[in-house]
Chain A
Amino acid sequence: MAVKTQMLKGLLEGCVLEVISRKESYGYAICEELNESGFADLNEGTVYPILARMEKGGWIECEKRKSPFGPKRKVYSLTETGKNRLEDFKETWKSIKNNVDNVMKASDEYEDKYEDKE
């Protein structure tokens, strides 16, 4: 569980950037979109601090717009820094995914070979 949380922390930033890059959006909707993409356990308690960190870091910027429910919502869009970060994330993710796949594949092949010998 702790491994999953640690892995998620880094990955979520990239996923949030990707969601915002498609269409400017606000915290609640971003969380819903991530839930629909498979991060079913994710809640706003995790997403909002990430958004706040990214906003303070200058990766995303916000515009306050009227909400039918209460105070104005923060609608986020990517900044140039954010766009660069997203590109970096995509490249890093591809490379990591590739490496992990290779390691897993090699492990599977090794196990198959070992089982055949037995």
Chain B
Amino acid sequence: MKINMRIKSNVSRRNFIVSAVIAGALIVGAGLYYIEVLGSYRVNKHIGEGKSLFVLPDTIIFFTVVLLGISALAYAYWKKVQLGKKIDEMDESLKSAFESFEEFVSLSGLKKSERSELNSEVLALFMEAHKNGRTVRQVIGDNQEVFAHEMIKAYGIKNFWLYDILTAIQYFVFYMFAGTFLISAKRGVGVFDAEMPYSLIAFFALAAFVTIPLVYRNKRKAFVEKDGKVPKGIIAILIVTVGFLAGFIILMDVIETWFEQNALVAAFLEGEVKVVASAWHIAGLLFVLAFSIGLKRRFHPNKK
């Protein structure tokens, strides 16, 4: 039975690769037809009028690389689909625990290569456990969060707060840039003339420095198994973000009503500032962004 499945799997893999190569060849062929027969390359000044693209020595190499690239992408996609099928076959508790683990690891601050290595290691473990009819509790014990923490700690991760704060700074700078560009587009003024309301800056600060660390923390906490179900981190994100947004709007309204006569509050509610008033401001924000990224790497939680 196993042999049959193996043969079947090899056949489907071969068929898929052959199909991908044929599809890639068709795409490349269609491209070549367009360029050679219909396209403007025939009058390209670098090649000469009416001449073929193949007078250039790099053409064949270029299209071979494109073909190989398409095939490799198709193969990688096929592998991903196959892996997804295997994950779906797992026992529900193992599958759910793995998905939560993946999510937990994605917020751990580990490098992409380390995340992928860790996920793959745990997936291999869960799949073998599934084949042997074991449950998630039998494999990693009662507390899945402890297991995830221990695994991440083994990679040198000790605490997350600095990482979260630096991430928040990055988000804040990004919001400032994005907000400025949107305001400039909406008001039809230049980027350097776009003024951002103080209240919007305050909201961005709240979103970045409170919501982001909270959401990250909640998502990590969401890994904890409750009543046999692993809560999804996305619920925490939605609740916290929507809560903050609603709270902020209500707060603004309350402040306006209560302190109508207060000059300071009025200045805050009606005030605007040019966040990006010149190229120097862009340089400054980019510096902060680069500095926070640099610090994140320097004080990376998994750095020994």
Contact = CB atoms under 8 A, between A and B. Distances in A.
A78 B238 CA distance: 47
B245 interface: no
Given A43-B141, A49-B147, A28 B125 contact: yes
A49 B150 contact: yes
B208 to A, nearest CB: 32
Given A49-B147, A49-B151, A52-B151, A69 B128 contact: yes
Contacts of B140: 43-45
Interface in B140-159: 140-141, 146-147, 150-151, 153-156
B100 to A, nearest CB: 14
Interface stretch (B61-69, B116-124, B292-300): B116-124
Interface string A27-66: 1100000000000000111101110110010000000000
Nearest to B126: A70
Contacts of A74: 121, 124
A48 B151 contact: yes
A49 B125 contact: no
B160 to A, nearest CB: 17
B127 A43 contact: no
Interface in A3-37: 27-28
A74 B220 CA distance: 26
Contacts, number: 66
B154 A53 contact: yes
B70 interface: no
Nearest to B138: A43
B156 A56 contact: yes
Given A43-B138, A43-B140, A49 B124 contact: no
Contact of A71 (B123, B146, B153): B123
A49 B141 CA distance: 13
A28 B153 CA distance: 20
A52 B154 contact: yes
Which interface class (under 10, 10 to 19, 20 to 34, 35 or more) fits B?
Answer: 20 to 34
Contacts of B28: none
A74 B121 CA distance: 7
Chain A's interface size range is 10 to 19
Nearest to B123: A71
B150 A69 contact: no
Contacts of B124: 67, 69-74
B129 A71 contact: no
Contacts of B8: none
Given A45-B139, A74-B121, A56 B155 contact: yes
A49 B123 contact: no
A45 B139 CA distance: 6
A72 B124 CA distance: 7
Contacts of B151: 48-49, 52
Contacts of B141: 43, 45-46
A52 B127 contact: no
Given A45-B147, A46-B141, A69-B128, 6 more contacts: A27-B125, A43-B138, A44-B139, A48-B147, A52-B154, A56-B155
Interface of B: 83, 86, 118, 120-125, 127-131, 138-141, 146-147, 150-151, 153-156
30 contacts: A27-B121, A27-B125, A43-B138, A44-B129, A45-B139, A45-B140, A45-B146, A46-B141, A48-B125, A49-B147, A49-B150, A49-B154, A52-B121, A52-B151, A52-B154, A52-B155, A53-B153, A53-B154, A56-B156, A67-B127, A69-B124, A69-B127, A70-B83, A70-B86, A70-B128, A71-B120, A71-B123, A71-B124, A74-B121, A74-B124
Interface of A: 27-28, 43-46, 48-50, 52-53, 56, 67, 69-74
